[in-house]
Amino acid sequence: ETGVTQSPTHLIKTRGQQVTLRCSSQSGHNTVSWYQQALGQGPQFIFQYYREEENGRGNFPPRFSGLQFPNYSSELNVNALELDDSALYLCASSARLDPGGYTFGSGTRLTVV
Amino acid sequence: SQQGEEDPQALSIQEGENATMNCSYKTSINNLQWYRQNSGRGLVHLILIRSNEREKHSGRLRVTLDTSKKSSSLLITASRAADTASYFCATVRTGGGNKLTFGTGTQLKVEL
């Protein structure tokens, strides 16, 4: 059984650019959630995908978007990057009907300069 | 927005001592979970306690939940240097799907 893998591990982008982060969910998990964690803070929920559709969204602007693929892997896209987007982006997979059992990836550290 | 606060923000203890962290939250919940995070990397799920449970144990971990006070505590007994990490509580709100709402975290340092 594989865990959640995220790529890349680190990324540096320039303000105004676009970025795509990737996540492969744990085997048997059909729901993927994305979180943003600023330095010194707890993770903040961005959105969740279930069966390739967005299923809940946090307080993030539309320039944060995502996709889920038939194999339950997922992408997080951020357009028009701002300096405040610098953070650790975490992906978590879970089984839809199980409110527990979240498995997190190691995250992607995004730095916007 | 954060669900609530964790207390203390930072805790430094000697190896072998017990560490207690507290978490308060604001809304009705289905369950509360504790996670550990080493050096700003991924979160590791430690333990889940459901809203109808008052106490749960897992190895050296003991979690309590008081829904009337909207608070929880995590006790790590006989701490080890390897327990040094940030600890976060996270709640799944009633009717909130299964998204996690995290607290602000406690930084635990266990010294030899």
- pLDDT by residue (tens digit) across B20-53? 999 999 999 999 999 999 987 899 999 999 999 9
> How many angstroms separate the CA atoms of A63 and A61, rounded?
5
Any bridge partners for residue B22, and if so which? B7, B73
Pairwise CA distance, residues B9 & B105, whole Å: 7
What is the C-alpha to C-alpha distance for residues A53 and B106, in angstroms, rounded to an integer?
A: 34
Query: What burial letters (b/e) apply to A95-107, b meaning 16+ CB within 10 Å?
Result: beeebbbbbbbbb
Report how far residue B94's alpha carbon sits from residue B30's, in angstroms, rounded to the nearest whole number: 5
pLDDT tens per residue, range A23-57 = 999 888 889 999 999 999 999 999 999 889 998 99
CB A54 within 8 A of CB A47: yes
Tell whether the model's pLDDT for residue B1 goes beyond 50: no
| A–B interface: beta-carbon pairs under 8 A | 73
Partner B, chain A 11-40, Cβ-Cβ below 8 Å: 31, 33, 35, 37, 39
Nearest to A56 among B48, B90, B97 (CB): B97
- pLDDT at residue number A97: 58
What residues in A contact B43, CB-CB < 8 Å?
43, 90, 92, 102, 104
Helix, strand or coil, per DSSP, at residue B81: helix
Binary contact (A45, B99; C-beta < 8 A): yes
Closest listed residue to residue B48, CA positions, set A31, A103, A100: A100
Residue B44 in contact with partner chain A when CB distance is under 8 A: yes
Which helix (H) or strand (E) element contains residue A65? strand A64-68
